[in-house]
Amino acid sequence: MPFTVPVADQARLLEHVVGIEGLAQHERFAHADPETVEAVLEGAASFAEGEFLPLHRIGDEVGAKLEDGVVTMPPGYREAYRAFVDAGWMTLSAPTDFGGQAMPLALSAALMENLNATNIGFALCPMLSLGAVEALEAHGSDELKARYLDKIVSGEWPATMNLTEPQAGSDVGALTSKAEPAGDGSWRISGQKIYITYGEHDLADNIIHLVLARTPGAPEGTRGISLFLVPKILPDGSRNDLVCTGLEEKLGIHASPTCVMRYGENGGATGWMVGPENGGMRAMFTMMNNARLNVGLQGVGLAERATQEAVAYALDRTQGMRGGRPTAIAEHPDVRRMLMRMRALTMGARALCYYAFGCIDKGETGDTEAALRAEVLIPMAKAWSTDVGVEVASLGIQVHGGMGYIEETGAAQHLRDARIAPIYEGTNGIQAADLVGRKLGLDGGLAFDGLIADVHADTQDERLMALADVIEQTATMLREAAPDHKLAGSYPFLDMCSVMVAAWLLEKVAIATDDPRTKAASEYFLSVLVPEALGKGAAASAGAEILYSVPAETLA
């Protein structure tokens, strides 16, 4: 199916939601002038359409293969990855000191969205490297940076994140991988890690693993975790003591090798500590914050792709009559309802994610309020956008009818691919817990309250005001509530907040631009999605009693 990156939508958001021209007034982003931004948007679209899109199906059908510890990517992936590196796409938002272009993350978001839309399984490789760049830049020693950072920035050596162990998933603090000092400043790492995305592959000559492990005598839990850089190939050219022992058979993202990794089976893999001892969680959060937003963009990208394909199919497929003539199914009201819902949700999720990235960028220019706003938005952008990705992909199947259930059509793959995003980089439940647990109280509550105040100040719509009012009341209640009550309401609360922000942003863009489809999406939000979100208010404030009225065993 053809796919066209919605460059005009992206540009509209950068202008009216991110305020990229304002960012370019600052020294930090002075090079993000309008001409450059336009060129990057056009170039990122062409690259994704030309290089990543054609490899999408083969990635699903052939997938990554493991034999004797060697992971082989599907045909064409090596060449396309090379093209990606050579064109400098990996360097877009990276720091200039290490060969990066230091562009705003909000602009990089457009690139990542495109890669996700055209080939999510492939896009995971650069996505993980982005997180590693940030962690290493913020916490790595000068020596480590000098040795590794420019190679990761360029994409020459892709990087990975090694957190999860069989007993330590959402509970990262339960991990048991070990690091012993080698005496020469390096460490010997040993342990098993699972679900390591791109833990092994043949796209590059080296792979740089960032691994969480415990040093001798480290405290229990998250306070005793340190971060290590563990390269596949050591500086002397020898192979490090690490190996991929298995690939998971997954529902989707087959192009992406999900590896079981074993470190130190022969005495210990050599690694170097990143940041201070027992400071691994902080370094990890540096990686994860932006990674979470990038996962949100997976939802956006897949939703865009599924929407375009569903509309194209519905315009082409004739069934039944309207006004006495055979008609395309896109004209039938309930099909149109699905298409409109898909389009509106996609645009809303994109607006939310770009806005969050834009707030991080503003924070980089010294705007601390914007930096705090980003913190509040991140769990919404990750969780809601990935839920949107699943819903829109599922609607895409429905629009295709029986054809949607046949793999050949491609609609089913989007659902299979989309379904991982609510799980990894912190499950959506973890995001909701973060919103009510940390973000609601950030800056004494001002960070969250400022968001509500902005919505109230801007919107001209009574339905959206009503939603903002309910959210405000619920927030007050949740702040006072016992932890279980807070958590019991966290998921519906996150949903409501996300819809509020998306509706607010789309309304702003619709008013500013008069763009027909933004207006249509905005009106759909206000008429349908905002009232729907209001319906979740009861669950957000219902408390935990109804969940614990019977023992969990009784639910089996």
Decide if residue 10 touches its own copies (CB under 8 A).
Answer: no
Decide if residue 171 touches its own copies (CB under 8 A).
Answer: yes
Q: How far is the CB of 516 from its own copies (least distance, A)?
A: 5
Task: Report the distance separating Cα 509 and Cα 504, nearest Å.
Answer: 9
Nearer to its own copies, 354 or 491 (CB): 491
Query: Is residue 410 left, alpha or beta, with left meaning phi > 0 and alpha meaning psi from -120 to 50?
Result: left
Residues between 435 and 454 that touch its own copies (CB under 8 A): none
What's 219's DSSP letter? P
Instruction: Tell me the backbone φ, ψ of residue 72, rounded to 5 degrees.
Output: -105, 125
3-state secondary structure of 254: coil
Decide if residue 424 touches its own copies (CB under 8 A).
Answer: yes
Query: Does the annotation mark 553 as catalytic?
Result: no
Amino acid identity at 127 = M
User: Applying CB under 8 A, which part among 69-77, 79-87, 141-149, 166-174 lies near its own copies?
Assistant: 166-174
Residues between 13 and 42 that touch its own copies (CB under 8 A): none
Q: How far is the CB of 221 from its own copies (least distance, A)?
A: 9
Task: Report the distance separating Cα 529 and Cα 519, nearest Å.
Answer: 14
Decide if residue 53 touches its own copies (CB under 8 A).
Answer: no
Task: Report the distance separating Cα 183 and Cα 175, nearest Å.
Answer: 24
Residues between 218 and 277 that touch its own copies (CB under 8 A): 248-252
What are the tokens at 204? Answer: 């590059």
Q: How far is the CB of 110 from its own copies (least distance, A)?
A: 19
Task: Report the distance separating Cα 91 and Cα 486, nearest Å.
Answer: 41
Residues between 60 and 119 that touch its own copies (CB under 8 A): none
CA 468 to chain centre: 26
What are the tokens at 553? Answer: 């065993």
Decide if residue 466 touches its own copies (CB under 8 A).
Answer: no
Task: Report the distance separating Cα 150 and Cα 146, nearest Å.
Answer: 7
Residues between 176 and 205 that touch its own copies (CB under 8 A): 194-195
Binding mask 289-328 for its own copies (x = CB under 8 A): ------------------xx--xx-xx--xxx-------x
Residues between 333 and 352 that touch its own copies (CB under 8 A): 333-340, 342-343
Catalytic residue among 425, 472, 480, 523: 425
Residues between 471 and 530 that touch its own copies (CB under 8 A): 484, 487-488, 490-491, 516-517, 519-520, 523-524, 527-528
What's 473's DSSP letter? H
Q: How far is the CB of 534 from its own copies (least distance, A)?
A: 5
3-state secondary structure of 484: helix
Nearer to its own copies, 456 or 519 (CB): 519
Decide if residue 366 touches its own copies (CB under 8 A).
Answer: no
Q: How far is the CB of 53 from its own copies (least distance, A)?
A: 16
Task: Report the distance separating Cα 529 and Cα 535, nearest Å.
Answer: 10
Nearer to its own copies, 152 or 175 (CB): 175
Q: How far is the CB of 313 from its own copies (least distance, A)?
A: 10
Which residues, in sequence order, are bridge partners of residue 211? Answer: 162, 228
CA 452 to chain centre: 24
Q: Are 510 and 518 in contact (CB under 8 A)?
A: yes
| # chain residues binding its own copies, by CB under 8 A | 96
Q: How far is the CB of 279 from its own copies (least distance, A)?
A: 21
Nearer to its own copies, 103 or 390 (CB): 390
**Of the candidates 96, 170, 176, 476, which one interacts with its own copies according to CB under 8 A?**
170
Task: Report the distance separating Cα 159 and Cα 149, nearest Å.
Answer: 10
What are the tokens at 39? Answer: 């060129």
Beta strands 159-162 and 208-213 are: parallel
**Of the candidates 381, 415, 451, 470, which one interacts with its own copies according to CB under 8 A?**
415
3-state secondary structure of 190: strand
User: Applying CB under 8 A, which part among 77-85, 107-115, 131-139, 161-169 lies near its own copies?
Assistant: 161-169
Task: Report the distance separating Cα 272 and Cα 208, nearest Å.
Answer: 11
Query: Is residue 537 left, alpha or beta, with left meaning phi > 0 and alpha meaning psi from -120 to 50?
Result: alpha
Nearer to its own copies, 370 or 547 (CB): 547
Active site residues: 425
